[in-house]
Homo-oligomer: A and B are copies of this chain.
């Protein structure tokens, strides 16, 4: 370590008035606050409109994080009030656990200070910059302090309020006023009031838009927003179930650099190298620690004696030894059911025609950082059909509103050929057109944002690949819906003729000839040659109950045995499911029925109820039939190959195929192409 260098004599250092000495006089520390004061655009505070949004965003993100950590169902209140042409008063209040009094000044008045930076787990805030930057830009633009109130639950608890400004020369809070008070009607929570210069706007990239999208991906939160025009907007929660709390993990050995290992060795509590490997990393067992030592040819020595060369060898060994991927309970995905529910709750006014089955991809990891991708697509209804598809970009449950062009999610969407999934797209790349909203959620212990403003996700090949996979699966579901819709329309006409006119003709002819009316069932079956699934459903929003009925007709000339499959929202399932044909349901909600020996021209009925908050998230049209040749199926899809429940292989029956329509052939081809496409991606 070097000692205080100021007392080193300069005699050996040339003329005192040399240019080097002159330059030295100006060299000094730059406070991080000064840095961001000058480069506010990096934090997203570069325009008045954006500043207003960024402030609200940072405060709401913190509130949601705090509530989740304390396992409290969030109640968030946001108010934006116009003071004059330029200034706005902003309020954000939550029912979180509150902040310990002595920590309040640093949390709100110091940049790069926080609790989540060092923890390896999914959270919204990570940098310890957002809320203090908000306070800082409020200070700078209006000269007014921020007012903080906070209260912790407890028997004799009082609430504290304080006024905070940031000393930007040294990045430290100045508390100008501090006192205890009684917070009426409150047992715990935090409230921030600050004044800032801003410009309020509606529509895209607005505070309303941010809160709406936040509600979609945080369906457990209730958010109330009083806008500057005095209008109140309530985003009601869609579920009372809290998200699974993400767990903190130890660093994974993959992706560590030599310097990382050296630093960890300096800080470790462990005595020996082996103990260090085993206890300070995740996924290193006794056996793996030994293998790493063996491969690296470093002996199990005292931590203090490990050299740089040892570390270099260890890093190389970690690259070659097979180590399990990091745990994934540090992530908290939204889940397919809740993505759908969130979308439905918020987008209900647009009455979409179809919510494609959302996809939650299994977790992967990049450089030892676990991540996962989720995707959903909403289609039709009042969503504008003649404009670009909207993309909801979400990172760790936070909607991203700015810099779409710089964002990996946009690039992933634009890289896909959406024409094969039923959307318009000029030339097969770029933004797709049509009545759709695409949602992509990237969750990670470390989302690589392009800047501290957290406006866009930086390029990353692995994450890109997962986004494309998730979107492809989701888009395939959309395509299958669109196919079914088209097919139904066409076949309906044929069916009406066969079912209505032929018996009518038979009756009339028989009458004229004075003969008995013949049994036409075999004839009709021969003409139709389909297994027809008819879906009926009704939803009682008061009782939160959905009744679903499937009538399956065998319009073929042979006896049929088959199984029916669908994925149910588990939370909504009840005893009504245990009907005659029901077989089983797995942990994911994948349910199976079996129907044996249905004679030609006969039908069976399968029905059940779903109840509770998630009942309406069930799409009854997403139903599959196995055991019947795909070309004979009408109103249901053949079971996809990845259904993946053991013992649920397609029943082998005599497949009688005598008619294949053009559309059906196209579908099959399309599926093949997709499989090939997916295969290429995997390589």
Kindly state whether residue A646 has any CB partner on chain B within 8 Å: no
- Residue-wise, chain A 1-27 has the 8 Å CB interface mask toward B (1 for contact) of 110011010111111001111011011
Known interface pairs A27-B106, A113-B30, A405-B406; A139-B259 also in contact (CB < 8 Å): yes
Kindly state whether residue A258 has any CB partner on chain B within 8 Å: yes
Set of chain B residues within 8 Å of A438, measured between Cβ atoms = none
Kindly state whether residue A649 has any CB partner on chain B within 8 Å: no
Q: Which residue on chain B has the smallest CB distance to residue A70? A: B19
Interface residues of A in 413-427 (CB under 8 A from B): none
Contact A30 B117 (CB under 8 A): yes
Interface residues of A in 26-40 (CB under 8 A from B): 26-32, 34-35, 38-39
Contact A112 B8 (CB under 8 A): no
Contact A112 B42 (CB under 8 A): no
State how many copies of this chain the complex holds.
2
> Which of A69, A101, A173 neighbours the largest number of chain B CB atoms within 10 Å of its CB?
A101
Kindly state whether residue A541 has any CB partner on chain B within 8 Å: no
Known interface pairs A20-B99, A105-B2; A180-B117 also in contact (CB < 8 Å): no
Kindly state whether residue A518 has any CB partner on chain B within 8 Å: no
Kindly state whether residue A115 has any CB partner on chain B within 8 Å: yes
Stretch at the interface among A272-280, A385-393, A446-454, A567-575: A446-454
Q: Which residue on chain B has the smallest CB distance to residue A5? A: B102
User: In the complex, A189→B118 CA distance in Å?
Assistant: 40
Known interface pairs A102-B8, A258-B140; A23-B175 also in contact (CB < 8 Å): no
Set of chain B residues within 8 Å of A2, measured between Cβ atoms = 105, 173-175, 178
- Least Cβ–Cβ distance between A428 and chain B, in angstroms: 16
Contact B29 A113 (CB under 8 A): yes
Kindly state whether residue A350 has any CB partner on chain B within 8 Å: no
- Residue-wise, chain A 144-160 has the 8 Å CB interface mask toward B (1 for contact) of 10000000111111100
Q: Which residue on chain B has the smallest CB distance to residue A455? A: B450
Partner of A114, one of B10, B27, B97, B98: B27
Contact B308 A144 (CB under 8 A): yes
User: In the complex, A262→B174 CA distance in Å?
Assistant: 14
User: In the complex, A10→B197 CA distance in Å?
Assistant: 36
User: Which 7 A/B pairs are nearest by Cβ-Cβ distance?
Assistant: A14-B154, A140-B259, A5-B102, A14-B152, A143-B258, A26-B115, A24-B100
Interface residues of A (CB under 8 A from B): 1-2, 5-6, 8, 10-15, 18-21, 23-24, 26-32, 34-35, 38-39, 41-42, 46, 66, 69-70, 97-103, 105-107, 110, 112-119, 127-128, 139-144, 152-158, 168-169, 173-175, 178, 180, 188, 197, 257-260, 262-263, 267, 308, 311-312, 405-406, 446, 448-452, 458
Beyond contacts A8-B101, A14-B98: 7 other A-B pairs, Cβ-Cβ < 8 A, are: A12-B158, A19-B70, A24-B100, A28-B118, A30-B117, A139-B259, A406-B450
Between A and B, 17 residue pairs with Cβ closer than 8 Å are: A10-B101, A11-B156, A12-B156, A12-B158, A14-B157, A18-B97, A18-B152, A23-B97, A23-B115, A28-B118, A30-B114, A30-B118, A31-B112, A34-B117, A39-B448, A41-B450, A140-B257
